[in-house]
Structure 1
Amino acid sequence: MAATLVGGAFLSATVQTLVEKLASQEFCDYIRNNKLNSSLLAELETTLLALQVVLDDAELKQITNTAVKQWLDQLKDAIYDAEDLLNQINYDSLRCKVEKKQAENMTNQVWNLFSSPFKTLYGEINSQMKIMCQRLQLFAQQRDILGLQTVRGRVSLRTPSSSMVNKSVMVGRKDDKERLISMLISDSGTTNSSIGVVAILGMGGVGKTTLAQLLYNDKEVQDHFDLKVWVCVSEDFDILRVTKTIHESVTSRGGESNNLDSLRVELNQNLRDKRFLLVLDDLWNDSYNDWDELVTPLINGKTGSRVIITTRQQKVAEVAHTFPIHKVDPLSDDDCWSLLSKHAFGSEVRGGSKCPNLEEIGRKIAKKCGGLPIAAKTLGGILRSKVDAKEWSTILNSDIWNLPNDNILPALRLSYQYLPSHLKRCFAYCSIFPKDFSLDKKELILLWMAEGFLEHSQCNKTAEEVGHDYFIELLSRSLIQQSNDDGKEKFVMHDLVNDLALVVSGTSCFRLECGGNMSKNVRHFSYNQGVYDFLKKFEV
């Protein structure tokens, strides 16, 4: 089930990359300068665009519609074949460039000898393009039969957050809370205005919202501010919607008006000489202009007013913050067990006293959470009121993505879905690396280069420079993490993020570790050498 939830998103990224490649100036110039049928390529691009706009709808419907799922699975194979065809054309383009240089030092007779065998190649490519166009057009016709439609905007299935929090199940955030409260009630942290902005940064599911809720409901914080407002911003940033929500909270009345200017003017007047606390939860937009537009009506608030933002993206935090960015780290294994047991048993005491035989298994399950509170809470909920050690062992030995009532995947999946198409492929490719594997930045960039993931024809950067930018972007989004063990720079993927990469890559990537069936459609393969290997391990 987990793989089906994200497969469409990964396919959409591949289609987007193909469309961009077909539209590139370098590709178009090569087609015009050789005997390739440009009308077939235009037809291929049009068909891909027609398919791309319904992939989000197909991704949602495949969960309950087996016909749509089958359509997506078959389309994936066709898209990969189209990718191979374009890679073949790219290869021939590079070959021609190399031979053209070599030809400058050869006689015309020798050049004709070298170039003549490739006259038949263009005919073969034209034939393959015609077959590919017909194949993809069939999928485009079937989309209407299946009732697939264009989905406008991002589809979010998450419940919006609120300011309410259950303090009885909170663990491990005392130091974070104290440090942040000191920012909220201090006199520093403001620049040219009276507003100080506290940015809480961390990967999906690490507990940013919960930490903001704890601050919002703290007695000392409540006494310090005249007014408090909570807004769940989420992925679809709409300045009118956010402004209306703030306006309604400040004025205590529903806003019928959609006039942004009048809302901003009235909001500005109502906040004058009031010390307020505004929480903007789950902010994704990293545009400075949008941020400036949003906070401009707030500048007349009393000195000491604060805005808290929670975000997964370093760029968003950098745009907004006036205090040092506060990064939320994963919980310790002990804190994860404490949180899991509270949800499993109702209280930590009961978990330790009445069911001592479950603690050893429970601590192993907690370690599997990788320090993410959302994972500990989800697994604790699954185990609630279960006292049979066999049931706990089943959860311990299960793939975390295939457990019932899973809230972990949706939380992390957003980070993937919000990636640009070129980064989706680079991220999914990382699934070939095992958990806890130390990523070598230079080596990974070279691997991305070899796979053709680094589009640099439209900029004045080398492929290596583009790869560096891609890597830094994944790092800033917490999909790759940096540690400095033993004083050395080290990059790793969180275990659950590694699992996410494995899920989104579907059958296109395969890691040979402890068995498993390898699909015939595997495109990227890795093998970890064992102490004692044998040939049977590689039998297909």
Structure 2
Amino acid sequence: MAAALVGGAFLSATIQTIAEKLTSSEFRGFIKNTKFNYSQLAELKTTLFALQAVLVDAEQKQFNDLPVKQWLDDLKDAIFDSEDLLDLISYHVLRSTVEKTPVDQLQKLPSIIKINSKMEKMCKRLQTFVQQKDTLGLQRTVSGGVSSRTLSSSVLNESDVVGRNDDKDRLINMLVSDVGTSRNNNLGVAAIVGMGGVGKTTLAQFVYNDAKVEQHFDFKAWVCVSEDFDVIRATKSILESIVRNTTSAGSKVWESDNLDILRVELKKNSREKRFLFVLDDLWNDDYNDWLELVSPLNDGKPGSSVIITTRQQKVAEVAHTFPIQELEPLSHEDCWSLLSKHAFGSKDSDHSKYPNLEEIGRKIAKKCGGLPIAAKTLGGLMRSKVVEKEWSSILNSNIWNLRNDKILPALHLSYQYLPSHLKRCFAYCSIFPKDYPLERKKLVLLWMAEGFLDYSQDENAMEEIGDDCFAELLSRSLIQQLSNDAHEKKCVMHDLVHDLATFVSGKSCCRLECGDIPEKNRHNKWMKISSLDEMKKKVKQDFEFMIPLVSLF
């Protein structure tokens, strides 16, 4: 793949920030008036630029080359330490400016000698990476100028899907008709089974929001269960969704950790009503846990139903009363249809205007393996590149040969083409748990606090830049709108996209739920807990403490 067509490397934005600090007039003036070793600062800048030249190649190779991955992780830590050291110097610059410290006093600062020593060690440390890059066979490349502006959010329409009409009609007919079904008491359970990224959640959303379904049920509720299944937490989530979606106000009984109280309240709220619950992303295949979860729902009106989505056949076999609905990958034609809608930005776009692009695009669609998440993210990437040369580079990328059970090549390609500052923003999202609702404003403020945005701008301009970053991740389907939570305009990462963010962030991001802080950690989601029950309660809060960790000097 032509390197000039690839987005900036993850660390490029940090290196650029360091370079700007080193060349700023305030910084240079302070260095001149103190006993800082300026030659070492110049050496640092030269070394960083030498490393920057091979970063794109390293990012491409890290998925298939473990030594390169380790080199890149270690380099990331060293560069962040360099940034911390310059931040410390910048602190002295600012302090001396505010306090108008005389030059003779500046030269007597005891911290200067210590910082000089750290700078010398830092330069030597980074030089070892320069030497190792040749041993690893890393090549000099130039990253392309990928736009950092918002592409378009019109493509982000969750109802814009293809190839699922038959699945949707079959599922709706099961839910609104009792004919030919086998029900456990009054409760029917429909299970959607399929591999990750095949569109299980999207199909459930279509059914959930269908007009016929809306008319058939007295009320509906959507609950994301996810991997860490717990009967108490799942029951609380269902109960909370019921109360929030009906007129029954009452006290916030779902905040209780007493399972008996929760089950009694759930039974009371669902009795003599025809309801539809969606339990999205269910992993637990323990039959007793399932009975505990649904037994309070058996007094609902006949026709009450539950839809579960799961990757595991065993889970569906435990829960279903309706025939299990196995969701197959999209056909090549449907995959191209979905990809082209995102790539060209309109359902009615005239593909005949781009005959060469269509031929290439259809070949790319085949490589998506019938997975909608792959087609959507690649379509979002290709939307900014309506040029034959660039589409060909995507088609012929060696990333398609990636061997990683958790990371789809199509998703990796979408990440690879991000500008460097967007890569940092994207990777940072891995500090949130899977299925965590991302709120635009809070996330932008966190990016600002971490210095991921252009802090040469004023605060309002930075927020606008942050909004652009969020919107572009949205337009590339790396973040998706929660259709069942549209009023609050929250978004979420698909599980497979979250796996990608976790991989590329390496050890620099973590969620500190228990245990020690990992070595090399930089960004951390911390929950102050004294017990497991308290931890579970904290998970329900909108916003936990976010702690950027920096090196202490």
TM-score by length of 2: 0.47
